[in-house]
Amino acid sequence: MGIVSPGFQGKPRSAAVTLPPGQYLTEDFPVLSAGPTPRIQLDQWEFVITTEAGVKHRWSWAELLELPSETPTVDLHCVTKWSKLGTTWRGVALDSLFEQVDTAADFALAHSYGGYTTNLPLEDLLDGQAWLVYEYEGEELGAEHGGPVRLLVPHLYLWKSAKWVNGIQLLVQDEPGFWESAGYHDYGDPWREQRYQGD
Ligand SMILES: Nc1nc2c(c(=O)[nH]1)N[C@H]1C(S)=C(S)[C@@H](COP(=O)(O)O)O[C@H]1N2
Ligand SMILES: [Mo]
Model confidence over 110-124: pLDDT tens digits? 999 999 999 999 999
> Would you say residue 7 has pLDDT above 70?
no
What is residue 16's predicted lDDT score, i.e. its pLDDT?
Answer: 74
Query: Which residue is closest in CA terms to ligand 1's atom 19?
Result: 31
pLDDT in tens, 75-129: 999 999 999 999 999 999 999 999 999 999 999 999 999 999 999 999 999 999 9
What is residue 162's predicted lDDT score, i.e. its pLDDT?
Answer: 98
Name the pairing type of β-strands 46-50 and 165-171. parallel
> What's the rounded Cα separation, in Å, for the pair 133 and 56?
21
Burial class (CB in 10 A: 0-12, 13-18, 19+), 16: exposed
> Would you say residue 3 has pLDDT above 90?
no
- Report residues whose beta carbon is within 6 angstroms of any ligand 1 atom: 29-34, 78, 112, 114, 116, 145-146, 158-159, 161-164
> What's the rounded Cα separation, in Å, for the pair 95 and 187?
20
The ligand 1 atom nearest the CA atom of 30 = 21
Query: Which residue is closest in CA terms to ligand 1's atom 22?
Result: 159
Given a contact cutoff of 8 angstroms between Cβ atoms, the answer to whether 59 and 46 are in contact is yes
pLDDT in tens, 154-177: 999 999 999 999 999 999 999 999
Q: Give every strand in the sheet of 56-60, ordered side by side.
A: 56-60, 46-50, 165-171, 107-112, 117-121
Query: Which residue is closest in CA terms to ligand 1's atom 18?
Result: 31
Instruction: Report the predicted TM-score, pTM, of the whole model to 2 decimal places.
Output: 0.93
CATH class for the region spanning 20-27+42-192: alpha beta
Q: How confident is the model at residue 2 (pLDDT cuts 50, 70, 90)?
A: very low
CA of 158 to the centre of ligand 1 (A): 7
Q: What percent of the chain has pLDDT over 90?
A: 91
Q: What are phi and psi of 83, to 5 degrees?
A: -125, 145
Residues with CB under 5 A from ligand 2 (ion): 32, 78-79, 159
What is residue 17's predicted lDDT score, i.e. its pLDDT?
Answer: 83
Q: How confident is the model at residue 73 (pLDDT cuts 50, 70, 90)?
A: very high
What is residue 74's predicted lDDT score, i.e. its pLDDT?
Answer: 98
Given a contact cutoff of 8 angstroms between Cβ atoms, the answer to whether 76 and 88 are in contact is no
Three-state DSSP class for residue 97: helix
Other beta carbons less than 10 A from residue 107's beta carbon:
19
Domain locations in the chain? 20-27+42-192
